[in-house]
Structure 1
Amino acid sequence: MLRYLSYVIMFVIMLKVSFSKEQYISFVKVFFVSTTIVAVYGLFQYVFNFNLNTAGLYALKEAIGRVESTMVNPNYYSAFINLVLPAFLVLTVIVLKNKGYQLLSFAVVGLLVVNMILTYTRVAWLVMFMALALIAIITWRDFFKNFFKPHLLIAFALLSLIVYNMPDFQGRMLSAIYAAENMVFNTGRTIEEPLPGELEPGEDPEEVVIDELTEKAMVSRTTLWKTGLYMYRDNPILGVGMGNYLDRYSDYVEKYPELYLGHERYSVHNSFLKVMAETGTIGIISFLLIYIVYYVYTVRFYFNQDLIGKLVIASLFVGSITFMMQNNSNNLIFIPQMNVIFWMLSALAFNFAFGNQKKL
């Protein structure tokens, strides 16, 4: 609670400060450079095989590890990339006019996309592709007018070719799509059934046992979510107490043996279920109201801006949506590295939008 209150204090302070145009430009430059350094470090991490995360590598045939760069965990790093990537794409395609600067900026976009693939976080991959499509749709008039230029089209084609041929991309992507389908439509396919593209030429489907990538991950996540729901169901008003999910986990897997996954303590992997389980109905309603107000202001700002203001708010909107979506499969709202960046960027964007709308 104290940590979350520190984000609020930082947010309010940054809203109250009056920044000049030159300072905003300096913020953009510094953030661009620092993000580039983080992405270059992530690429070097994979190429030279140091400090790679090896959790969750079962069923990956070519990948040697998962990149986390400076963000402690590959899931956190993928969330950071999804948060900032829409803004970097808008900067590249719409804001920058010089061809050389555009290509330099697109190289950073490509570097971030490559880093995203190297995190091997399936949900984040799907969220990334949806986010890039969404930002293009929201800014479609300016986006497509500027995107269909030879140098950008060639750069995009080259990036697509690189991504398509990266280690385990094709199989992991098929698995990600299947996982999404299974979650939404409950296809119920069993572990003995191979995914499309998993059979080698001449292999007998009856002799192939599917890699556990999809089933194992899906079963464990849904079981963890059920654990959070059971805690909430048994304590619907006030929950089990803030911060007590892990302490009560062993009690619940003992009470409900079908929830046991072989661990004495295991995160719920869902920020909203964590809040529900720990603080009950009162807590989750209060918590969600924070983000409802956040998006109300985001939409209000968008419709009272010039082009630059609209691009800033659109980038924040799409980036924050990706952050919220990934919180359905990870506890990102409780990770300090992510939340400091989330609220800092939000405060700067709101500050800019508030000052910008007064000039209209």
Structure 2
Amino acid sequence: MPHQIEYLSFSIYLSEIVLWLAIGFWLADDYKKIKLPGVFLFFLIFAGLSILWAEDRVAGYRLWLYIFEGILVFLYLTPSSSPFSRGRLGLRLGFNKITLAIKNISPKWHKHQFISGSESGGFIKVFLFSLIFVSGFAIFQFFNLGSEAFKWLGLAERGAWNLGDIVVLGEGGTSASLSAGRWLRAYGPMSHPNILGGYLAVGVLLIFNNVNNGGLCALGRKDPHCYFSLALFLFTLILTFSRSAWLALAIASAYFLFKNLGSREVRKFAMFSLILIAVLGYIFAPFITTRVKSEGYLENKSNIERVASWKEGLVVWKNNPVLGTGLGNYTIGYQVSNSQPAHNIFLLVLAELGIAGFLLYLFIWRKFWKMPSARTILLLFLVIGLFDHYLWTLYSGQMLFWLGLGLISHEN
């Protein structure tokens, strides 16, 4: 029996329960309307079959469900003009029934359309609104050097001096409040600061996309909440000290600005962002320098482990080049105590599903790239995926990937 590993454990999230309730309502009314696009269907079938030769089938089922849930969320959000429109599911019926129940409990929620996902961008409102609370908690966590555990929300205890918690070292910032020593990187409610960084980066891109589309954040609307949200997300993103999220957002934003430089609204928000980043960069310069230059023992250790994980990924793939180790079974395939997944989602897919599954996965990315509205966020996920694994291995990562693509499609 293999040792218990975080990435092989089976967990149930509240959002999963809500999602499956919606699916249940839909299936009860008309199960015959299930229609997945071929690219998704073939990938799901192959990934499901790979569980048959996986050593830990529970881990395979877990990851397969995460992928399936993510695809359902994406298809629900995809507009009729999308290349994926033929696979748009009848999930709206299920979500509407849940919305109706919420309306009966609290009419104000329905009035402000936080759930309904109407033309006012209800889905994006919910996402950004939740990120505001998450950012507030993460900022408190950073300056408090930790946070208490709260089991009902699934929050673990975090602390700058806790063994295993991820910190950043600095010699003290330009502010008197930033003393030298160990500072806990902002986790928020996530299991790793990099995951929070990914969510915040998506939030920033959604605001820019809304500005470009003349939404609530456009100049004509004069909505101060957008500036507040943008500033809050960028500030919190700095506190995660996630290099993968920083680099991904920089590249994706540069691409977005290049494509939309003619928009006065976009230029104004971009200038606001650059000024804010410059100020924050000055305040947190010692910590940022430590992360960017990879100075110190912790940073060198992180880089060495990441490169080693890439080499391990190739070893696992070479052992099972055609069919892979089976979905969700990378760490078992490597069979090293306390092994972590390769910090590259493409290597992970190659190792777990072999060359056949890898080609199907690339075909999904190719399909997404054909959607002009999805290219910016796809670049973001590409960079993150090259240096981290959570977009593939964890529920929060799978939801971020599919939800982010769905929200961008919905907005456009």
TM superposition score normalised by structure 2: 0.62
1:341 is displaced (CA, Å) by 3.7
Structure 1 distance, partners of 2:267, 2:409, is 31
1:56-112, Cα deviation, whole Å (9 max, x unpaired): 4365444510111122211111111222312213435773225852x4322221211
- Name which of 42, 48, 58 aligns with 2:144: 48
The aligned residue for residue 262 of structure 2 is: 141
The aligned residue for residue 356 of structure 2 is: 282
The aligned residue for residue 167 of structure 2 is: 57
Q: Secondary structure at the match of 1:236?
A: coil
Structure 1 residue runs without a partner (length 5+): 177-209, 252-262, 300-312, 354-360
Q: How many residues align?
A: 289
Structure 2 distance, partners of 1:175, 1:326, is 19
C-alpha contact 2:123 2:407 (8 A) present in aligned 1: no
C-alpha contact 2:202 2:404 (8 A) present in aligned 1: no
1:288-323, Cα deviation, whole Å (9 max, x unpaired): 111211222x13xxxxxxxxxxxxx2xx43123212
Shift in CA distance, 264/339, structure 1 to aligned 2, threshold 3 Å: closer
**Are residue 11 (structure 1) and residue 74 (structure 2) matched?**
yes
**Are residue 109 (structure 1) and residue 230 (structure 2) matched?**
yes
The aligned residue for residue 329 of structure 1 is: 387
Shift in CA distance, 13/152, structure 1 to aligned 2, threshold 3 Å: closer
Shift in CA distance, 146/220, structure 1 to aligned 2, threshold 3 Å: same
The aligned residue for residue 323 of structure 2 is: 238
C-alpha contact 2:241 2:288 (8 A) present in aligned 1: no
Equivalent residues in 2 for 1:113-262, closer than 5 Å: 113-142=234-263, 145-146=264-265, 156-166=274-284, 168-172=286-290, 174-175=292-293, 211-250=296-335
- Name which of 157, 182, 191 aligns with 1:72: 191
Shift in CA distance, 131/271, structure 1 to aligned 2, threshold 3 Å: same
Shift in CA distance, 39/225, structure 1 to aligned 2, threshold 3 Å: same
Shift in CA distance, 324/60, structure 1 to aligned 2, threshold 3 Å: same
The aligned residue for residue 122 of structure 2 is: 26
Structure 1 distance, partners of 2:77, 2:169, is 45
The aligned residue for residue 199 of structure 1 is: none
Structure 2 distance, partners of 1:88, 1:76, is 19
Shift in CA distance, 146/221, structure 1 to aligned 2, threshold 3 Å: same
Structure 2 distance, partners of 1:14, 1:157, is 34
1:312-350, Cα deviation, whole Å (9 max, x unpaired): x2xx43123212211112112232123224323433443
The aligned residue for residue 8 of structure 2 is: none
C-alpha contact 1:83 1:323 (8 A) present in aligned 2: no
- One-letter code of the match for 1:119? T
Structure 2 distance, partners of 1:242, 1:53, is 34
User: Which consecutive segments of 4 or more residues in structure 1 shift more than 6 A?
Assistant: 18-21
The aligned residue for residue 97 of structure 1 is: 219
Structure 2 distance, partners of 1:350, 1:99, is 22
1:280 is displaced (CA, Å) by 1.2
Shift in CA distance, 155/286, structure 1 to aligned 2, threshold 3 Å: closer
- Name which of 395, 401, 405 aligns with 1:346: 405
Shift in CA distance, 348/58, structure 1 to aligned 2, threshold 3 Å: closer
Q: Secondary structure at the match of 1:64?
A: strand
Shift in CA distance, 64/5, structure 1 to aligned 2, threshold 3 Å: same
The more displaced of 330-339 and 210-219 is 210-219
Structure 2 distance, partners of 1:338, 1:228, is 19
C-alpha contact 2:211 2:265 (8 A) present in aligned 1: no
The aligned residue for residue 358 of structure 1 is: none
- CA RMSD for the aligned pairs? 3.1
**Are residue 272 (structure 1) and residue 346 (structure 2) matched?**
yes
Shift in CA distance, 231/29, structure 1 to aligned 2, threshold 3 Å: closer
C-alpha contact 2:194 2:244 (8 A) present in aligned 1: no
Structure 2 distance, partners of 1:231, 1:275, is 11
Structure 2 residue runs without a partner (length 5+): 1-63, 79-87, 97-115, 148-157, 172-179
- Percent identity at matched positions? 21
Structure 2 distance, partners of 1:71, 1:161, is 26
- Name which of 126, 133, 152 aligns with 1:37: 133
